[in-house]
Structure 1
Amino acid sequence: MFSRRLFIQTCFASPLLLKSPAYGDTKIVTLSGEINASKLGRTLIHEHVLVDFIGADKINPNRWEHDQVIKKVLPYLLDIKAKGIKTIVECTPAFLGRDVKLLQKLAHQSGLQILTNTGFYGASDNKYLPSFALTETATELANRWIAEFKRGIDGTDVKPGFIKIGVNPGSLSDLHKKLISAAAIAHLQTGLTIYSHTGPAIPAFEQLEILKQSGVHPSAFVWVHANGSDEDFLKIAKMGAWISLDGIDDGNMDKNAKTISLLKSSGLLNKVLISHDAGWYKPGEPDGGAFKGFTTISDKFIPYLKSNGFKQKEIDQILINNPSQMLAIQVRKM
């Protein structure tokens, strides 16, 4: 049986209630190195530059040319910078097109702060997992991710700013349980926040249970592509996890605004994250295929929220304060 103290911590704790360094002292890791969390600025927490869907067994960085990608993508990054965005969190995992040298060039030329990730993506029935991920233990996988945090990615000095994993939408397979266990181990060694491509609530709750058993607080977990009932949103946010509404576009602004209003009315606006899950230069398609820009939030969704009673300080809570708290490097224990 839970103690009363543990029950309260599990249901209601947020990063602000945990023992942690003062806000101004916490760090966030970008492509260019560590910054104070207070310097993150207005942030899009889930976007993509390039994603290659060919599969882990076939992917090769020779499938794209940096100059061609930059020519296509840079104008979109300059556009959001002009609209006040300061930071973009690039969520493409290893074996799906993560290319930190390309991202370094784009960060330099755009003037944006960009974060990249470590971790492995098991969603889409493991198509994007390297073969060794099927046989290595959770500790062995975690050690790979910890090494990237300590020594850099792909022979560079670029270090990940968060952990990115992915699971299928149903109940977790043993392999996907291993991925979240590995993420827990890596979090406890690095303080990196865990982004998990999840979707429905069932695998979200199952992952949170594994994290709890591993001694990791829910505030280290981002429910990516959060999709559930009002009850699910409230329960997971009260546990302390982050609710990521990261597919905002013209067709779902009202739905997402209602979810945010629900969380706001319950005193949980400090657990809300928003982004577009946009971009997607696709190697193998002519000119990288159709590229979706990152401006719906700035141009349409923020005005929509304001027209529905949101104040500027609440917009800043969602786009500045919450990302800063969520991405801050700190070990978050139960």
Structure 2
Amino acid sequence: MSVARTVLGDVDPADLGVCDAHDHLFLRTPRLPGAELDDPAAAASTLGAFAAAGGGSLIQWTPYGLGRHAAGLAGLSRATGVHVVAATGLHQAVHYAPEVLAAVLPRLEDLFVAEVTDSIVGTGVRAGLIKVAASPAGLDAHSRRVFAAAATAHHATGAPIGVHLEPGTPVTDVLAALCGRGRVDPRHVVLGHLERYADPAAVRAALDAGTFLALDGPSARHPEASARLPRVLAAVIDGDGGDRLLLGADTTATGTGPGAAHLLTTLRPMLHARFGAECADAVFVTNPRRAYVLNRPAREGASHGSAEAGR
């Protein structure tokens, strides 16, 4: 049975509605001092504005150990009526203290599986996405370890895998490590940040592989990528990739960016005007229904209930 695993329980993917496919309500990392997303009021405002613009679901890509605020996500979802999907997984090594990595790396598979099938410890909330990341130079030993654990956890849980990419990371190497030799079906992989690549060959490689592509909305932190976004959107759609295209706001709760609602007040009308209503609906509605689902293993119990029961 295919479901979308939200912080309030499993829902029919059709119930996700209009989706912000890549965002962070909360994020805290020593790699980005002073840029913490750690304010529940700001997160509530972001979700509220998104809901008012017609938003139905938001995928939070914040993984293990980076201030997910998982315990608070259910309350935010319930208060705003927006479905929220939480992530397990692990970011690049630079985002963690060495002692954290030493403790968690040997048990990654068990951690990822437990956070999808049981709960994020102490929260009662289950993750619906496994987040991994490539390093700027490519795939280092840390990335390969995390990728391998994510593949194992995917096969155990059915959870999709979201991949944080850096400008210049060889997309073919990422695909080979994660999907090569039958590891993970590319249809269960979402590649993020491809609009940050100046080389169109990276986009072409992702399209040829059959993965989903989660592009970001305008970002004050990445102005060059924001300027490139319309060209990449056109390249994907003209390259017959419109059925795998997703859009997210990515890190909007700081108040410095246009926000999740901007996806629906500006980008969705732009897609509608330039590529038609069918394309706009695919990007925000029908594509996320296929990208962010998992096949619930029969051994999982029903004690977690459904989102409808939690609301």
Question: Within 2, Cα distance between the matches of 1:256 and 1:230?
Answer: 12
Match in the other structure for 2:232: 259
Question: Within 1, Cα distance between the matches of 2:99 and 2:162?
Answer: 22
Please report how far the alpha carbon of residue 235 of structure 1 lies from its aligned counterpart in structure 2 after TM superposition: 2.1
Cα pair distance change 1:46/1:38, threshold 3 Å? same
Q: Deviations over 1:93-121 (max 9, x none)?
A: 22111111111111111111011011111
Match in the other structure for 1:161: 128
Match in the other structure for 1:322: 287
Cα pair distance change 1:261/1:147, threshold 3 Å? same
Q: Is the 2:46–2:253 contact (alpha carbons within 8 Å) kept by the matching residues of 1?
A: no
Match in the other structure for 1:127: 95
Please report how far the alpha carbon of residue 80 of structure 1 lies from its aligned counterpart in structure 2 after TM superposition: 1.1
Match in the other structure for 1:16: none
Q: Secondary structure at the match of 2:94?
A: coil
Superposition pairs of residues 27-42 of structure 1, within 5 angstroms = 27-42=3-18
Where does the alignment leave 5 or more consecutive residues of structure 1 unmatched? 1-24, 56-62, 282-288
Match in the other structure for 2:271: 305
Please report how far the alpha carbon of residue 201 of structure 1 lies from its aligned counterpart in structure 2 after TM superposition: 5.3
Match in the other structure for 1:144: 111
Cα pair distance change 1:132/1:320, threshold 3 Å? same
Please report how far the alpha carbon of residue 291 of structure 1 lies from its aligned counterpart in structure 2 after TM superposition: 7.0
Q: Are 2:206 and 1:239 aligned?
A: no
**When the two structures are aligned, how many residues end up with a matched partner?**
287
Match in the other structure for 2:176: 209
Q: Is the 2:88–2:127 contact (alpha carbons within 8 Å) kept by the matching residues of 1?
A: yes
Q: Secondary structure at the match of 1:126?
A: helix
Question: Within 1, Cα distance between the matches of 2:104 and 2:53?
Answer: 44
Question: Within 1, Cα distance between the matches of 2:229 and 2:249?
Answer: 12
1:78 to 44, 48, 64: 48
Which amino acid counterpart does residue 311 of structure 1 have in structure 2?
G
Question: Within 2, Cα distance between the matches of 1:94 and 1:46?
Answer: 16
Match in the other structure for 1:275: 248
Q: Deviations over 1:235-293 (max 9, x none)?
A: 21121112221243586666322222222222211111111113245xxxxxxx75762
Question: Within 2, Cα distance between the matches of 1:38 and 1:189?
Answer: 24
The answer to which of 177-186 and 204-213 deviates more is 204-213
Where does the alignment leave 5 or more consecutive residues of structure 2 unmatched? 32-36, 297-311
Match in the other structure for 2:189: 221
Which amino acid counterpart does residue 105 of structure 1 have in structure 2?
G
Q: Is the 2:212–2:246 contact (alpha carbons within 8 Å) kept by the matching residues of 1?
A: yes
Match in the other structure for 1:183: 150
Q: Secondary structure at the match of 2:135?
A: coil
Q: Secondary structure at the match of 2:294?
A: coil
1:117 to 58, 64, 87: 87
Question: Within 1, Cα distance between the matches of 2:46 and 2:68?
Answer: 19
Q: Is the 1:204–1:223 contact (alpha carbons within 8 Å) kept by the matching residues of 2?
A: no
Q: Is the 1:51–1:280 contact (alpha carbons within 8 Å) kept by the matching residues of 2?
A: no
Which amino acid counterpart does residue 293 of structure 2 have in structure 1?
A
Cα pair distance change 1:183/1:220, threshold 3 Å? same
Please report how far the alpha carbon of residue 28 of structure 1 lies from its aligned counterpart in structure 2 after TM superposition: 0.6
Q: Is the 2:88–2:129 contact (alpha carbons within 8 Å) kept by the matching residues of 1?
A: yes
The answer to which of 179-188 and 75-84 deviates more is 75-84
Q: Is the 2:193–2:215 contact (alpha carbons within 8 Å) kept by the matching residues of 1?
A: yes
Q: Secondary structure at the match of 2:95?
A: coil
The answer to which of 84-93 and 151-160 deviates more is 151-160
Match in the other structure for 2:301: none
Which amino acid counterpart does residue 183 of structure 2 have in structure 1?
G
Question: Within 1, Cα distance between the matches of 2:130 and 2:248?
Answer: 17
Question: Within 1, Cα distance between the matches of 2:191 and 2:139?
Answer: 14
Q: TM-score, normalised by structure 1?
A: 0.78
Q: Secondary structure at the match of 2:265?
A: helix
Q: Secondary structure at the match of 1:44?
A: strand
How much identity, in percent, do the aligned residues show? Answer: 22
Please report how far the alpha carbon of residue 173 of structure 1 lies from its aligned counterpart in structure 2 after TM superposition: 0.9
Please report how far the alpha carbon of residue 294 of structure 1 lies from its aligned counterpart in structure 2 after TM superposition: 1.5
Question: Within 2, Cα distance between the matches of 1:86 and 1:258?
Answer: 27
Which amino acid counterpart does residue 101 of structure 2 have in structure 1?
A
